[in-house]
Structure 1
Amino acid sequence: MTSLSKISLSSHVLDTTLGKPAADMVLILTTPDGEQHQGKTDADGRCRDWGVSGYSAGVYSLRFMCKDYLNSYTQDSLYPFVDIHFEMTEDGGHYHIPLLISPFGFSSYRGS
């Protein structure tokens, strides 16, 4: 695999029920070769540090561990976690994978 050292990855989790960033949510990045790296959202709901020195082209997965966060303010929530799979390419640039979450719905898109 080709190393993509100029590629960067970030994420942002926003709680659409409370209208605020989702702080302290654990995210697990799985690389194409199956390695897992853990990150955590900051006070602004952002995660930029995966402990990865470079990326290779391929399909990645981000697992957002939603249960503890959602259960911090509601007992009723459907999602213990949300998995988002995406593909990084050699000329893909910056990848920003946001998650909009509520106890009973979520969405994502490629951000900037």
Structure 2
Amino acid sequence: MASGMRSPITSHVLDAQRGQPAQGVRVELKRENPSTQSWDFVSTDTTNKDGRAVALLPPGSQVEPGLYVMRFYTQAYFTELDQKSFYPFVEVHFCVDQPSDHYHIPLLLSSHSYTTYRGS
């Protein structure tokens, strides 16, 4: 998929415990407002059957430089699976310094651990 045809910020959540995509995880995106030292809501999305959050921003739009946080509502996901979760949510902070780049934030998840990295 061409970078101009997708959201400039996306995510992919994989449930390592179950060995499959994590469908139905709510993902919230916020941007730091340096003048107020607070977080401004940008958007929210829910992972699809492939575990992907692909509609956080309009396809082809350019993201503003700055500090962002992506919050994954993991406890709600595990509650739906009738499992306990140690983390009620996971927050991943990241810097956008190249507005024309694509920022992909994968999350590898289990009920008691997680890891993330900058994907492509």
User: What TM-score do you get using the length of structure 2 for normalisation?
Assistant: 0.80
Residue in 1 that maps onto 2:80: 72
User: What TM-score do you get using the length of structure 1 for normalisation?
Assistant: 0.85
Deviations 1:38-86 (A, max 9, x none): 1110000001112454311111000000111112224321011000000
Larger displacement relative to structure 2 (92-101 or 14-23):
92-101
Aligned residues: 107
User: Which segments of 5 or more consecutive residues in structure 2 lack a partner in the other structure?
Assistant: 34-39
Taking only aligned residues, the RMSD between alpha carbons, in angstroms, comes to: 1.9
User: Which segments of 5 or more consecutive residues in structure 1 lack a partner in the other structure?
Assistant: 1-5
Residue in 2 that maps onto 1:59: 67
Deviations 1:87-111 (A, max 9, x none): 0112662111000110100000001
